[in-house]
Amino acid sequence: IGALSRHRDFEQSKLIRGKYPIFSDVASVLGDPQVRNMGTIGGALAHADPASDWGTALLALEAELIARGPKGTRTIPIDRFFKDPFTTALRSSELLTEIRVPKSEPGDGGAYLKLKRKTGDFATIGVAVQLGLDAKRNVAGVRIGLAVGPTPIRATGAEKALIGRKAGPTAFADAAKLASEGGHPASDLRGSEDYKRAMIEVFTRRALETATARAGR
């Protein structure tokens, strides 16, 4: 994906909606129509707002970011891209040129859900799930991204708890609880820490359900 792709491109692409619905999820809840018409995925990643919708979703997707500078081109795994609020691994002389995501395989599904106070707001909390199910509907792989602190983070405890388990309400409830216990949600004008933790639990469960339905197994 070229870094200059606008949010609107993802919102409107039938190809993206069919293969990577998680991108369409992000683009349809990010900002408002004016922001989506002008903003780019590369600009949003380089800006690195703590509540970045793209950062959270691309963490779940295990994206690789391609940076180009005077010394050539290098690949930055998304897990090492966000350093602090508004601070990334990009050097001052580098441009982000591409975003690469693994090919979607049969049994894969993803979803991004965002809680916001109103259209145009950044996330109170956001949850991204990308999972792969085997033929028996057991979770073969899963990554969960959370927008809930100084930078997008992964809910690694919840991910570990899901591996090998049957995709369904019991496993999802356990994982959602673990996701809500991690991270460092701060009380702010968008909600208290307790409220954010409660919403992470609800939205993680729902994102797991949607991702599973999309996995088609």
Residue 41 in tokens: 């995925």
Q: Could you tell me the smallest distance in angstroms from the CB atom of residue 31 to ligand FAD?
A: 3
**Which position among 58, 96, 139, 179 is part of the footprint of ligand FAD (CB under 6 A)?**
96
Quote the CA–CA distance of 82 and 90 in Å, as a whole number: 9
- In the chain, count of helices (H) and strands (E)? 9, 9
**In the complex, least distance from residue 114 CB atom to ligand FAD, rounded to whole angstroms:** 8
Q: Is the dihedral of CA 200, 104, 65, 40 positive or negative?
A: negative
In the complex with ligand FAD, which residue's Cβ is closer, 24 or 40? Answer: 40
Task: State yes or no: residue 47 binds ligand FAD (CB under 6 A).
Answer: yes
CA gap 145, 204 in Å, rounded: 9
Does the footprint of ligand FAD cover residue 195 (CB under 6 A)? no
Q: CB–CB of 146/56 below 8 Å?
A: yes
Should residue 95 be labelled a site residue for ligand FAD when binding is judged by CB under 6 A? Answer: yes
Single out the residue of 5, 23, 39, 210 in contact with ligand FAD (rule: CB under 6 A).
39
Residue bearing tokens 């509540």 = 51
Contact residues toward ligand FAD (CB under 6 A) are 3, 30-31, 35, 38-40, 42-44, 46-47, 49, 52-54, 90, 95-96, 120, 122
